[in-house]
């Protein structure tokens, strides 16, 4: 295993929009951030009973299962981008519309436990990928959603995006009145 640490992405390594996710990640190493975020997230989502998995805090809001499914889909997309750019693929990649992905995912037909297991396996695979990168691969960039982004920034976006949605689960779905 490498002792290399990724370091934090600079503001110029990602579109300003992603800064809100990167800001949620205080760790100075992406691998540590991904491990810690996953441990925290799994503890929370595994504590949610299946009887609440269809809960939504507002009429037009996603259910808990849809939130978890969205996090899985987004992590898969961000990791695919990181793979392409780490391998020096300069092909511009399109954006994705999470509001189209969620209904097409039919997450309501799945058990929350299965969505959690998928997220866990996906994260383990992504951490193995990131651990295997050579130092120079972390700096490689590509164009996604019409904006340049580095492999390092994508790792931080994965962790920060997960933290963002777990916080929403805590405050809007699982808190009293949520």
Q: Does 58 reside within a domain?
A: yes
Q: Tokens 């991904």 correspond to what residue?
A: 34
Domain count, the chain: 1
Q: Does 72 reside within a domain?
A: yes
Q: Does 178 reside within a domain?
A: no
Q: What is the pLDDT of residues 70-89, one digit of tens each?
A: 999 999 999 999 999 999 99
Q: Does 49 reside within a domain?
A: yes
pLDDT exceeding 70 applies to what percent of the chain? 98
Q: Does 44 reside within a domain?
A: yes
| Predicted confidence band of residue 1 (pLDDT cuts 50, 70, 90) | very low
Q: Mean pLDDT over residues 150-172, rounded?
A: 97
Cα 67 to the center of its chain, rounded Å: 11
DSSP 96-158: --HHHHHHHHTGGGS-HHHHHHHHHHHHHHHHHHHHT--HHHHH-EEEETTEEEEHHHHHHHH
Residues of the domain holding 109: 21-173
Contact 94, 145 (CB under 8 A): yes
Res 170 pLDDT > 80: yes
pLDDT of residue 4: 72
Q: How long, in residues, is the chain?
A: 178
Residues in contact with 108: Cβ distance below 8 Å, sequence separation at least 6, in sequence order: 54, 63, 65, 66
Q: What is the CATH number of the domain that holds 58?
A: 1.20.120.450
Q: Does 6 reside within a domain?
A: no
Q: Does 13 reside within a domain?
A: no
Q: What is the mean pLDDT of the chain?
A: 95
Q: What is the pLDDT of residues 130-143, one digit of tens each?
A: 999 999 999 999 99
Q: Does 2 reside within a domain?
A: no
| Predicted confidence band of residue 49 (pLDDT cuts 50, 70, 90) | very high
Conformational region of residue 7, where left means phi above 0, alpha means psi within -120 to 50, and beta covers everything else: left
């Amino acid at each position: 295993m490498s002792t290399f640490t990724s370091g934090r992405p600079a503001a110029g390594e990602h579109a300003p929009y992603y800064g809100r996710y990167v800001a949620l990640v205080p760790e100075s190493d992406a691998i540590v951030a991904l491990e810690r975020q996953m441990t925290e997230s799994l503890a929370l989502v595994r504590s949610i009973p299946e009887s609440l998995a269809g809960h939504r805090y507002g009429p037009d809001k996603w259910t808990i299962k849809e939130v978890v499914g969205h996090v899985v889909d987004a992590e898969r997309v961000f990791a695919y981008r990181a793979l392409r750019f780490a391998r020096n693929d300069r092909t511009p990649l399109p954006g994705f519309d999470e509001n189209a992905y969620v209904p097409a995912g039919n997450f309501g037909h799945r058990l929350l436990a299965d969505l959690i297991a998928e997220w866990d396996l996906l994260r383990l695979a992504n951490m193995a990928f990131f651990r295997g990168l050579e130092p120079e691969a972390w700096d490689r960039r590509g164009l996604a959603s019409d904006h340049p982004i580095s492999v390092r920034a994508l790792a931080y976006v994965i962790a920060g995006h997960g933290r963002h949605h777990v916080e929403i689960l805590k405050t809007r779905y699982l808190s009293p009145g949520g």
